[in-house]
Amino acid sequence: MILPVAVEDVKREVKILQALKGHENVVNFHNAYEDDSYVYIVMELCEGGELLDRILAKKDSRYTEKDAAIVVRQMLKVAAECHLHGLVHRDMKPENFLFKSTEENSPLKATDFGLSDFIEPGKKFHDIVGSAYYVAPEVLKRKSGPESDVWSIGVITYILLCGRRPFWDRTEDGIFREVLRNKPDFRRKPWPSISNSAKDFVKKLLVKDPHALASTLDEDELANLRDQFQAIDVDKSGSISLDEMRQIDSNTDGLVDFTEFVAATLHVHQMEEHDSEKWRLRCKAAFDKFDVDGDGYITPEELRMHTGLRGSIEPLLEEADIDKDGRISLSEFRKLLRTASMSSNVPSPSGIRNPQKF
């Protein structure tokens, strides 16, 4: 007998796969079929094996900093894409990342969204799910959100760099106690030989207070949105092309509006809620990145410079330019940011054959 909850789980996973379809670091969804007994989900073939297997095959089961950075960047792009859609993966671990091919430089693909779920801004999950070694403290406290994915990536990064788990015990309950009570060890080898920037990065990911996680960047980093641009600038051209902008088209209408762009480059609501002063500073820093000539307004030319759009940008101005003077002021920019991350819509599933049989 198939329980209704199992049917809902399958339908949700298909919806999630469709929402993330086309992202370079998510296993591609082709279609879903069903017969009288089963549902068959057809996905991209990944022949390179699990990330876990590659870790174990490395000398001392650890990556170089350079190679680890390549892997972690791809995982963070998956998390960013999920969170842009109001989705939390909830089970990020090396076994759930596959390599497309056996080539050393093969792209990494996230898979297994069976525990993933959509979440509304400000809401929390109250169940405990995931894998013990990678579960975030807030999950164990039954108050988790998107930040739990960041914690899991932090655990994976720790493993990539040193070949050991940051929290370990012989039992699951023991692991949970370690996660809640203790801090990762950065004193044992090879950590003394690992760069301070790498250690600092891991520590920022493994922050036990999820509210503090949104404020782990220093002011210099906040003033420079280079990392956010690089996350979208797939071809490393230094500008964001229309094709790359489509990767963050949250409502899948084929057009990337300014709201979607800003939502993809700044986690607005967490910043505003956590510290209003830091919110104002970050908002101004983001505005200044667009306001190249420093005249206090973002002009159409400056929008073109930062988005790489060659055609009309009037739809972008229409959305942001409240007083219709043909440019965007700081106050208009702030108002836009306050609603930016609320604007993403997830497409409903349309590729399931005979969905009424679920």
Say how far residue 91 (Cα) sits from the centre of its chain.
Answer: 13
Nearest to 243 by CA among 253, 252, 233: 233
Residues 6+ apart with CB under 8 A from 289: 223, 224, 225, 306
Q: Is 301 helix (H, G, I), strand (E, B) or coil?
A: helix
The bridge status of strand 328-329 relative to strand 297-298 is: antiparallel
CB-based contact 11:37 (threshold 8 Å)? no
The Cα 60–Cα 151 span in angstroms is 23
The Cα 334–Cα 249 span in angstroms is 21
Catalytic residue among 53, 60, 67, 91: 91
Cβ count near 255 (within 10 Å): 13
DSSP string, 110-166: E---TT-EE--TT--B-S--S-GGG--HHHHTT-B-THHHHHHHHHHHHHHHHSS-S
Integer CA distances (angstroms), 245 to 79, 107, 123, 271, in order = 17, 20, 28, 24
Structure tokens at 261: 């762009």
The Cα 200–Cα 97 span in angstroms is 24
Tokens 């350079």, residue located: 66
The Cα 205–Cα 282 span in angstroms is 20
CB-based contact 43:28 (threshold 8 Å)? yes
The Cα 196–Cα 65 span in angstroms is 11
* Catalytic residue check, 91: yes
The bridge status of strand 39-43 relative to strand 29-34 is: antiparallel
Active site residues: 91
